[in-house]
Structure 1
């Protein structure tokens, strides 16, 4: 009987320790659950924070795009307004072009008629070529497939060719009636001052007389200089001083 109390005490202590251990396990288990729940909550918080940060960046990016689009739209509006102004100006210009086109056709016809008269009254060099140029211009004016601008360009081009004749020297071969016979001769044109011919045998020369509208004979003393001038005009000799007959200006 003396050993009962210690055994009971030991049993009670063991039982108490078992209960405490069980409660401790429960506390630890609850702590783990709390930690797991806290970790899950923290992950959710981190995820929400990341999502908010991403959306904030997207918001800032969208704001920049909106600002850029506003500037772009403003610039486009200015361009559209300028284009509308240009369209108005073009419409007015088209009206003006129609008026100018109605006026320029009679002008070109007068220019061609003037050119034809000028060629007929001028020194008769390259007569066939120049007459054909005028005839081509007159035929061109009747064509509907050529724009007025192109017609005007060609008329001005013909005038420019005539202007260039006055400041160049040229040699060419053609037929001419000499002493009642048609002969092949070399022509020398010095601007519009002189039109001189020399027969191919080099024995006879003549010069165009602007008053009589005929060729008149030149003395044999001029033939050597005429030959030299012909070679210079054909670029067979270097430019040099020449002594040629020149009709005095009125």
Structure 2
């Protein structure tokens, strides 16, 4: 390659010397142009280590920035988790005191529920008293956790609360003579019964805690309400006897 370039250069110089006499300015410009182009091509092909190192250094700096940012995010996440762990440890440490205070509260709520049912209208009384006995058994059980006992107590309260906005009917026996009748419960507002033949109706008096016979004119209204509560008829306006129980 060097021999070829030297030969080419020699040829150019020879041609230039032959043409120098004819056109000195034109030949000089041509020779300089050839030499300049050849010099630029040679320089472009030379390997530059400094440029390569500068590029690698820039890439390493970019990777370092990414690593530092990621490490900062991890540190923040770890700090947050450590704070949450400390909070959980403090809550666990205070758990015995919480249980110590909650259990007496549960017993007071149980007593309040028992008193409420005893003073309430005596509908489904045997069923509700049986539920109270089962609740007492559950709250005294060592196999149930405190949270399970609390859940059962709340379930009992919820069931009693639902009775307050229900129109319900069921068959049962009178405590006086055990004869079967249809009971009608109007929330916690009123409690009635009617014989199965529909000829006799009565309302529970909370003041005297006994049944008061209703006038026969209310038999049809009570019958309609019983049918409506059992789903045998559509909802309709009922004239419930509330006062004037003679």
Q: TM-score, normalised by structure 1?
A: 0.71
Cα offset for 1:59? 5.1
Question: 2 CA distance for matches of 1:236 and 1:204?
Answer: 20
Distance 1:173 1:154 in 2: 28
Distance 1:58 1:184 in 2: 99
- Distance across 2 between alignment mates of 1:128 and 1:65: 78
SS at match of 2:191: strand
Pick the structure with greater CA Rg: 1
Q: What are the ranges of 5 or more consecutive residues in structure 2 without an aligned counterpart?
A: 5-41
Residue 185 of structure 2 is matched in structure 1 by 189
* CA displacement 1:100-124 (0-9 Å, x = unmatched): 2111101101111111121122111
1:56 to partner: Cα distance:
6.5
1:188-241 CA deviation, whole Å, 9 max, x = no partner? 000112111111121222211212222222222111000011112123333222
Q: Quick one: distance in 2 between partners of 1:57 and 1:128?
A: 90
Matches within 5 A, 1:36-55: 53=52
Q: In structure 1, what is the equivalent of residue 214 of structure 2?
A: 218
Q: Which runs of 5+ in 1 are unaligned?
A: 1-27, 33-41
Indicate yes or no: 2:81 matched with 1:83. Answer: yes
Question: What is the RMSD of the two structures over their aligned residues, measured on CA atoms?
Answer: 3.0
Which residue of structure 1 lines up, in the alignment, with residue 199 of structure 2?
203
1:106-155 Cα offsets, whole Å, 9 max, x none, are: 11011111111211221111112211222222111122333322322221
Q: How many aligned positions are there?
A: 208
Of the candidates 125, 141, 144, which is equivalent to residue 143 of structure 1?
A: 141
What is the alpha-carbon distance in structure 2 between the residues aligned to residue 166 and residue 247 of structure 1? 20
**Following TM superposition, by how much is the alpha carbon of 1:58 offset from its aligned partner in structure 2, in angstroms?**
5.8
Indicate the SS of the match to 2:180.
strand
Does the 8 Å contact 1:173/1:184 carry over to 2?
Answer: yes
Q: 1:186 to 1:59 in 2, by over 3 A?
A: farther
Counterparts of 1:83-232 in structure 2 under 5 Å? 83-177=81-175, 180=177, 182-232=178-228
- Other-structure match for 2:12: none
Alpha-carbon displacement from aligned partner over 1:136-195 (angstroms, at most 9, x marks no partner): 2211112233332232222122222222222221111222245x3x22211100011211
Matched residue, 2:65: 67
What CA distance in whole angstroms lies between the structure 2 residues aligned with 1:168 and 1:234? 12
Provide the rounded CA distance (Å) in 1 between the counterparts of 2:55 and 2:223: 93
